[in-house]
Amino acid sequence: MSTAVNLAEIARRRYTTKAFDPSRTIPAETMEQLRTLLRFAPSSVNSQPWHFVIASSEPGKALVAQGTQGNFAYNAPKVMRASHVVVLCARTELGDEHLTAVLNQEDADGRFATPEAKAGQANSRGGYVKLHREIGDTAVWAQKQVYLALGELLLGAAALGLDACPMEGFDPAAVNAALGLNSRGLSAVVLVALGYHAEEDFNAKLPKSRLPAAAVISEI
Ligand SMILES: Cc1cc2nc3c(=O)[nH]c(=O)nc-3n(C[C@H](O)[C@H](O)[C@H](O)COP(=O)(O)O)c2cc1C
């Protein structure tokens, strides 16, 4: 079977870039594709419990770099030298205002043939939200959804010929403070530096390493 896109080839080519070429900027139309990818990422009950801050200006990247000090200083050059840095944020709560906005958007997008269908969707999503509120893991649940967007972003960036570095190595509290995220009901979860690797990127020359297929995949 032939497919237009060779996903296996992209998966093997994609790698974590450790040094970016600061002279190269991602074209606007390519960034627009990545914005669409982020917006259209799937999430449980279409909760979309996220926000993505995209830093491309020097001052913007410097704000994000406030989270890459001390133990995380090894990530600071990636933030400052990449073309764009995405701060993937999770909502700290899934309040009624957000849930109403999602429901009304689904309505405006034509997903409900009847008022009953709209009420049914509100009810079913509300059930999951209530469940997670009761368990007390709403923030973790939201972060899981954010990681789906992360996966899409990394694969999409590679498919578009971009290099990327996902980063958990930063201080979320410092990024939250620098970007004023907490007051917006948000918290930084993971960063992704995007751009083009520099000549000195040692990781570009190393072979990728993964456990064998039999160790991670079982067929039944
Ligand atoms: C969620 C996540 C967080 C990561 N954090 C960092 C980081 O802070 N700094 C870094 O240089 N690499 C980071 N990495 C890169 C991983 O080390 C890398 O993905 C892994 O070694 C596999 O290599 P590959 O991406 O080149 O295939 C992170 C990767 C993921 C998925």
According to the model, what pLDDT value does residue 5 have?
A: 86
Q: By alpha-carbon position, which residue is closest to atom 30 of ligand 1?
A: 166
Residue pLDDT, tens place only, 90-134: 999 999 999 999 999 999 999 999 999 999 999 999 999 999 999
Q: What is the pLDDT of residues 160-173, one digit of tens each?
A: 999 999 999 999 99
What is residue 82's predicted lDDT score, i.e. its pLDDT? 98
Report yes or no: 213 and 104 within 8 Å, Cβ to Cβ: no
Q: pLDDT band for position 4 (50/70/90)?
A: confident
Q: Quote the CA–CA distance of 4 and 183 in Å, as a whole number.
A: 45
Atom 1 in ligand 1: residue holding the nearest Cα: 168
Residue 61: active-site member: no
pLDDT tens string 142-195? 999 999 999 999 999 999 999 999 999 999 999 999 999 999 999 999 999 999
- For the domain spanning 9-94+143-206, the CATH number is 3.40.109.10
Q: Is 78 a catalytic residue?
A: yes
Ligand 1 centre from 138 Cα, in Å?
A: 25
Specify the pLDDT at position 11.
Answer: 97
Active-site residue (options: 18, 152, 200, 205): 18
Ligand 1 centroid to residue 165 C-alpha, Å: 7
Catalytic-role residue among 32, 130, 168, 208: 168
Query: Is pTM beyond 0.85 here?
Result: yes
Residue 3 pLDDT greater than 70, yes or no? no
pLDDT at res. 152: 98
pLDDT at res. 1:
55
d(CA 134, CA 130): 6
